[in-house]
Chain A
Amino acid sequence: MKHVLSDLWQITKKDLLEFARDRIRLITFIIMPIFMMVLTGFIFPSQNSIKNVPIGVVNQNGTTGNQLLDVIKNLEITSGNKAFATKTYSSINAIKDGIKKQEINGGIYIPADFSRDISINKQAQVTIVEDQSNPQISGIATQTLTNVVQGFGQEIGKQKVGVLVAKTGARGPNAGVLITPITSKLEGILPGSTNYFEFVAPGIMAMVVMTAVLTGLAASVSREREQGTLDGILISPISRLAIILGKAMSQSIRGLAQGAIVLLLAIFLFGVTINGSILLVALLLLLGIFSFVGLGILVSASAAEQETATQLLFMFQFPMLFLSGAFFPTQQMPQIMQDIAHVLPLTYAIEALRKVIILGAGVSSVMNELIILTVFGAVTLAIAVPLFRKMITR
């Protein structure tokens, strides 16, 4: 038993040396997390990523309509960038055609009687057209347009109420306050706003690290089994625990390295700030890995061939990615899915990472997750190791 650690380390060292010499594997290893990050970082839009969204406009009214359009045209959500790039169309149907051709991602139609209705105190109406083929962009765009129209309406309302108030001769009430008697102030825990990327970054990190360990471990064992080199290890008089833990260790080191790549990209390329302790992030990743090692061992012991192992893992991993809240908050999911999510260790790892990275949570706030991950890892490992011992000599 006293040899377990040194034996384990021999295997880890050998695995890493082999890996470092294998150019192709090394390159994919580095490219994969970068690819994942860049992809998710750029494809998922966030509120402040809305710039130059092409929309169609129709103004059948005159000056008042133009005033509204000017507000839309000059709207900047991130400073220096216009939110919308407007394109003038002749009719509402022309806007719809434009959306079908995907020239534009939405539109606004101002009818001829717009200013007349306003002046005779009838409720005026504009039509906002949405692009249903692109719910992400269109959701943000239509929300923004609605807000603009509402704000514009409130300004007009304020003037009208101002006039009325002046007529009654009452002193004090401010027209703006009368129109919107209640406002809400948004207060976050942190200064500034978070974007979707800050939400996904911890998810991607946990996912990359843990799938690397899971697939890496299974692939590494089955590769050695197919090549025959596993026999060379198995025939040495060392503890089977040292063998499997040595392999798990080399995969964990690789996983952590990939996690570091993701973290660095998130910080330097996507401007994510780590509000909590970096050490706690590392600890969470380690425990996340630990929680997966048992599963990895089970898969590697049961799948005789590399291909079977990969397929088995894919079946397992794919749903896990979506259920664990890496991309969408688990709270959005139906109850049954949430229940499943709460059996997956990845869910806890991601939740905890998010708390630490985005909200700057400390150890005490993620204690539950730390305990769950540790217990999950210990239990699966306790099941997996004896099974590995048995199955490897089947």
Chain B
Amino acid sequence: MTKTENTIEVKKLTKKFKKFTAVDSISFDVKKGEIFGFLGPNGAGKSTTIRMLTTLLTPTSGTAMVEGHDIKKDQNEVRKRIGLVAEKIILYNHLSAMENLEFFGKLNHLSKDEIKKRSERWIERLGMEEWKDAQASTYSTGMKQRINIVRALLTEPDILFLDEPTLGLDPQTTFMIRTFIQELNKKGITIILTTHDMIEAEALSDRVAIIDHGKIQALDTVENLKKKVENKKNPTLEDVFLQVTGLDIRDKRGKAKRAGGPPWRGGGENRVR
């Protein structure tokens, strides 16, 4: 099945923090119903892009349409159609899962019944029913992230943004969440997933955008991207990634530092300028 209808159209989107350009005039489309992988090293500008698309940051220039609504002008229309799992878990530690969900549900003008029905369905699916009335401060990170995902789904969004959703989680929770993302996508939810985990991007994404230094360096299906790798048989997405973004190690500011030597896996010889 090929997906053709655009749900997000990004045009020359730019974000500067004072003089530093975090996102540099990027343009791309996301198709309705796809899982769009946003792959890039630390500080590449992934979160900044997501934050602009979810109306949390005002672009310096350029704009984007989400489901036909301008992120600069019709912010509330955009907000009604999206769900966000941000880098930081959106959950109040002193409240229970249900209290958290009720609060965020109410902010989205859902009735108590709707909130309860929708919450319980996903809580059950993610194996949190025993914990739903315990204070979030007693949860592990993985448990918090599961409730955080339920929160993002409360409004039954058309588009779900996930910013590194499995970062720092144990393999079991990671597996659960990845499976769940695919499940949601099968129900028709468009997923935008940022990650710097190659396996995650490769396993989940229909298409992958590789972003570095605030610019999109490559964008295609995983299959097609792999074809572009030179000098290697059966290349992985990591080979693509290293070829596109180079071997320099990034600090958080996005400035490149020369790596001391070749990476632990011999990707060095594949590097093509």
Interface residues of A (CB under 8 A from B): 3, 7, 10-11, 14, 17-18, 21-22, 227-229, 231-238, 390, 393-394
| Given A7-B107, A237-B80, A17:B88 Cβ within 8 A | no
Contacts of A227 in B (CB 8 A): 88
Interface string of B71-107 (1 = CB under 8 A from A): 0000111011010101111111011000100011011
Are B108 and A236 in touch, CB under 8 angstroms? yes
Interface residues of B (CB under 8 A from A): 54-58, 75-77, 79-80, 82, 84, 86-92, 94-95, 99, 103-104, 106-109, 135, 151
Whole-angstrom distance between the alpha carbons of A393 and B57 in the complex? 4
Whole-angstrom distance between the alpha carbons of A394 and B16 in the complex? 10
A-B pairs with lowest CB-CB distance, top 4: A228-B88, A232-B90, A236-B107, A21-B94
Contacts of B95 in A (CB 8 A): 14, 17-18, 21
Q: Residue of A at shortest CB range from B77?
A: A237
Contacts of B108 in A (CB 8 A): 236-237
Contacts of A3 in B (CB 8 A): 109
Are A18 and B109 in touch, CB under 8 angstroms? no
Known A-B contacts: A14-B103, A228-B86, A237-B75. Give 19 more (CB < 8 A): A7-B107, A10-B107, A11-B107, A14-B95, A17-B94, A17-B95, A18-B92, A18-B95, A21-B94, A22-B94, A227-B88, A229-B91, A232-B84, A234-B56, A235-B56, A235-B82, A235-B84, A237-B77, A393-B58
The CB with the most chain B CB atoms within 10 A, among A3, A7, A14, A394, is that of A14
Complex A-B: 27 CB contacts under 8 Å: A3-B109, A10-B103, A10-B107, A14-B92, A14-B95, A18-B92, A18-B94, A21-B95, A21-B135, A22-B94, A228-B88, A228-B90, A231-B86, A232-B84, A234-B55, A235-B79, A236-B104, A236-B107, A237-B75, A237-B79, A237-B80, A237-B109, A238-B76, A393-B55, A393-B58, A394-B57, A394-B58
Contacts of A393 in B (CB 8 A): 55-58
Contacts of A229 in B (CB 8 A): 88, 90-92
Contacts of B106 in A (CB 8 A): 10
Are A236 and B58 in touch, CB under 8 angstroms? no
Whole-angstrom distance between the alpha carbons of A377 and B140 in the complex? 44
Q: Residue of B at shortest CB range from A393?
A: B58
Q: Residue of B at shortest CB range from A17?
A: B95
Q: Residue of A at shortest CB range from B91?
A: A229
Contacts of B99 in A (CB 8 A): 17
Contacts of B58 in A (CB 8 A): 390, 393-394
Q: Residue of B at shortest CB range from A21?
A: B94
CB distance from A45 to the nearest CB of B (A): 43
Q: Residue of B at shortest CB range from A391?
A: B58
Whole-angstrom distance between the alpha carbons of A242 and B176 in the complex? 37
Whole-angstrom distance between the alpha carbons of A3 and B135 in the complex? 29
Whole-angstrom distance between the alpha carbons of A57 and B100 in the complex? 72
Partner of B76, one of A17, A228, A237: A237
Q: Residue of B at shortest CB range from A232?
A: B90
Whole-angstrom distance between the alpha carbons of A17 and B54 in the complex? 28
| Given A3-B109, A393-B56, A231:B84 Cβ within 8 A | yes
CB distance from B108 to the nearest CB of A (A): 5
Contacts of B56 in A (CB 8 A): 231, 234-235, 393
Are A232 and B104 in touch, CB under 8 angstroms? yes
Contacts of B79 in A (CB 8 A): 235-237
Whole-angstrom distance between the alpha carbons of A330 and B107 in the complex? 46
| Given A3-B109, A10-B106, A227-B88, A235:B55 Cβ within 8 A | yes
Whole-angstrom distance between the alpha carbons of A232 and B87 in the complex? 12
CB distance from A239 to the nearest CB of B (A): 9
Whole-angstrom distance between the alpha carbons of A3 and B109 in the complex? 9
Whole-angstrom distance between the alpha carbons of A228 and B87 in the complex? 8
Whole-angstrom distance between the alpha carbons of A236 and B83 in the complex? 9
Whole-angstrom distance between the alpha carbons of A47 and B161 in the complex? 69
CB distance from B69 to the nearest CB of A (A): 11
| Given A17-B95, A21-B135, A22-B94, A231:B107 Cβ within 8 A | no
The CB with the most chain A CB atoms within 10 A, among B75, B80, B82, is that of B75
Q: Residue of B at shortest CB range from A224?
A: B92
Whole-angstrom distance between the alpha carbons of A22 and B54 in the complex? 31
Whole-angstrom distance between the alpha carbons of A394 and B80 in the complex? 21
Q: Residue of B at shortest CB range from A3?
A: B109
Contacts of A22 in B (CB 8 A): 94
Whole-angstrom distance between the alpha carbons of A238 and B79 in the complex? 9
CB distance from A238 to the nearest CB of B (A): 6
Q: Residue of A at shortest CB range from B90?
A: A232
Are A228 and B89 in touch, CB under 8 angstroms? yes
CB distance from A250 to the nearest CB of B (A): 13
Contacts of B55 in A (CB 8 A): 234-235, 393
Are B92 and A233 in touch, CB under 8 angstroms? no
| Given A7-B107, A393-B57, A231:B94 Cβ within 8 A | no
CB distance from A220 to the nearest CB of B (A): 12
Q: Residue of A at shortest CB range from B107?
A: A236
Contacts of A238 in B (CB 8 A): 76, 107
Q: Residue of A at shortest CB range from B80?
A: A237
